Amino acid sequence: MQGFGLLNWGIVGVYLIANLLLGWYMSRRVKTAQDYNFGDRSAPWWAIGISVIATYVSALSFLGGPAWAYGDGMAALAIHVNYPLVIFAVIVLFLPFFFNSGVTSIYEYLEKRFGPASRTVMSIIFLMTQSITTASILTATAVVVTFITGIDPKISIIIMTAIVLVYTLLGGMNAVIWTDVLQGAILFLGAGIILYCLLGTVSPLSDATAFLAENGKLDPLNTDLDFTVAPTVWAGVFAMTLFHITVYGANQMMVQRALAAKNIGDAKKSYLLMGYVAFILYFVFFFVGALLFVHFKGEPFEQPNEIILTFANTLAIPGLMGILAAAILSASMSSLSSAFNSLSTVSVADIYKPFIKGDGSEAHYLLMSRIFTLIWALMVIPMAYAFISSGGSILETLSKVGSYFVGAKLAMFGMGFFSKHTTERGLLVGVAAGAIGLIVIVGLGGLMGINGLYPEIAWPWYVVIGGGINIIVSWIASVLLDGFQKDWHEQTVPGQIRHFRESGKAEKQDGWYLVPGRIDRPLWGLLVVFVAIMLFLYLFGKLA
């Protein structure tokens, strides 16, 4: 603790106090449950966009990204080349459905499309997966605090939860968005400082890239059609595009920000910001990891998530550890506050209102929103303890855990948008079949792989396996149980297009499409960016 120094403690202290003050300031705007869940819709689109970026890009990326690249090299970046494609799909399909219907929980869409059972199933899946994710984030924070101060990681988890809980309880979504802006700025500042210092330490860059090439760590484009390897181009462009579509389109934590926008144009612009800059940020995190491999000459680390902190500590720059501690705390806090708020929103909207008390006052639901925020904060603490002993990159671990559940999300929303004949009964049969099929295939593959008889399938492909089984079984079961449907449901893409046409409603609002399935002109730029990313990575791999 003494080694951290007064200056560094001062920087961290000011940062934490600023977050609490922001939460207190925003609390004056919270009068109803709607204010708590979505704010007062006063946040500009760029603030919401930064909040979207900070919540997911920062979630363990500062620690896990470099740790992952330290082990797998720049090839790990292939998992993240798909963001322009992902945001394109989410803006065209998901946001219009959610924004136009005025839902509190995005899983209300499933009830409108299929029925209440599908909404409940997806809400439960979200609550399970998001609590696991939140526990992982808490653990990442504990790694930082323990490394710097020597405080027991379990105590660090409790302290961190308490701080985030206070400002989230006070200010709701407004506090989440504006603290994310602060946290994002500090996070990117910290990443920039580390990259700058590393470039100076390992220079000349040509020697560094040559060292990476010699050790098989430079080329980011692994084109082998090998389903046992996670970071390949095929996994990144195909499997992880589907994976990330569910993260940004079928995830309450992410979409809830867009629903807090003033209008659909601001909602779409906030997501566009993510589509245009996400890859750049991930490139920085992974390039830092590759340069750290050069700096430490590939020396193995017992805890890979501490690599970036070990490097920073060797620089002995006054205040640097304080800035980095604040940056990594930001990485966790931005996701924690969003998680607590969204877990509370889904608990009240999808569980409490339908099954416990549907006739409460606004004051009652605001109170329950805050109570559920507290409940979830307390529930994730023991789960975070379980992650403390996990090895490897926390970012990679988190991605693996999430990949078990994304097939169901992909199938339920995808068939809701595009399937004419899928019904709720068939859909639920498909969800069960997808889960069972994935467990059997992945479990058997892993078991046989131990004996060398059959290769183990890499986790990015779980979404393809689970989602594929889910879709096929759902369609067949729907036809067998309920027959072919005569008309497209109004909550499908064709049904929405027909509804807008027949009702005479304007398809656009302030130049942005309200109807799903229509492509706004700025979205074409995302496809250009994707091509540019692939070209850049190809050239980058030839640096040596």
Length of the chain (residues)? 544
The C-alpha atoms of residue 358 and residue 355 are separated, in whole angstroms, by 7
The C-alpha atoms of residue 443 and residue 68 are separated, in whole angstroms, by 24
Model confidence at 400: pLDDT above 60:
no
Q: Supply the DSSP symbol for 541.
A: T
- Lowest model confidence (mean pLDDT) among 99-108, 433-442, 451-460, 495-504: 451-460
Convert 445-480 to b/e letters by CB count within 10 Å (16 or more is b). Answer: beeeeeeeeeeebbbbbbbbbbbbbbbebbbbbbee
Query: What SS3 class is residue 454?
Result: coil
CATH number for 98: 1.20.1730.10
The C-alpha atoms of residue 357 and residue 206 are separated, in whole angstroms, by 65
Model confidence pLDDT, tens digit, residues 435-450: 888 778 776 555 444 4
Model confidence at 453: pLDDT above 50:
no
The structural domain count of the chain equals 1
Does residue 401 or residue 413 have the better pLDDT?
413
Mean pLDDT of the chain: 85
**Which residue, among 41, 42, 51, has the nearest Cα to 99 in the 3D structure?**
41
Region 447-462 average pLDDT: 62
Angle of helix 462-482 relative to helix 424-450, nearest 10 degrees, comes to 140
Model confidence pLDDT, tens digit, residues 306-350: 788 888 888 878 888 888 778 777 777 777 888 888 999 999 999
Task: Say what the pLDDT of residue 307 is.
Answer: 84
Handedness of CA 395, 341, 493, 510 (dihedral sign): negative
Q: Supply the DSSP symbol for 521.
A: G
Please tell me the chain's helix, strand, coil percentages from 3-state DSSP, rounded to the nearest 5. 75, 0, 20
What is the extent of the structural domain holding 505? 2-540
Confidence of residue 473 (pLDDT cuts 50, 70, 90): very high
**Which residue, among 207, 193, 166, 212, has the nearest Cα to 333 in the 3D structure?**
166
Whether this prediction's pTM lies above 0.95 is answered by no
Q: Cα–Cα distances in Å, from 182 out to 20, 51, 331?
A: 12, 9, 11
- Residue 249 burial (10 A CB sphere; 0-12, 13-18, 19+): buried
Does residue 64 or residue 193 have the better pLDDT?
193
The C-alpha atoms of residue 170 and residue 124 are separated, in whole angstroms, by 26
Structure-token pair, residue 226: 């090998």
Region 173-185 average pLDDT: 81
Model confidence at 395: pLDDT above 80:
no
Confidence of residue 60 (pLDDT cuts 50, 70, 90): low
Could you report how far apart the first and last alpha carbons of the chain are, in Å? 42
518 — alpha (psi -120 to 50), left (phi > 0) or beta? beta
The C-alpha atoms of residue 517 and residue 496 are separated, in whole angstroms, by 9
Task: Say what the pLDDT of residue 519 is.
Answer: 95
The C-alpha atoms of residue 13 and residue 211 are separated, in whole angstroms, by 40
The C-alpha atoms of residue 147 and residue 210 are separated, in whole angstroms, by 32
| Contact assessment for residue 90 and residue 245, using Cβ atoms and an 8 Å cutoff | yes
Handedness of CA 427, 247, 222, 73 (dihedral sign): negative
| Contact assessment for residue 81 and residue 460, using Cβ atoms and an 8 Å cutoff | no
**Which residue, among 355, 336, 404, 332, has the nearest Cα to 128 in the 3D structure?**
404
Region 174-193 average pLDDT: 82
The C-alpha atoms of residue 465 and residue 144 are separated, in whole angstroms, by 36
Model confidence at 245: pLDDT above 90:
yes
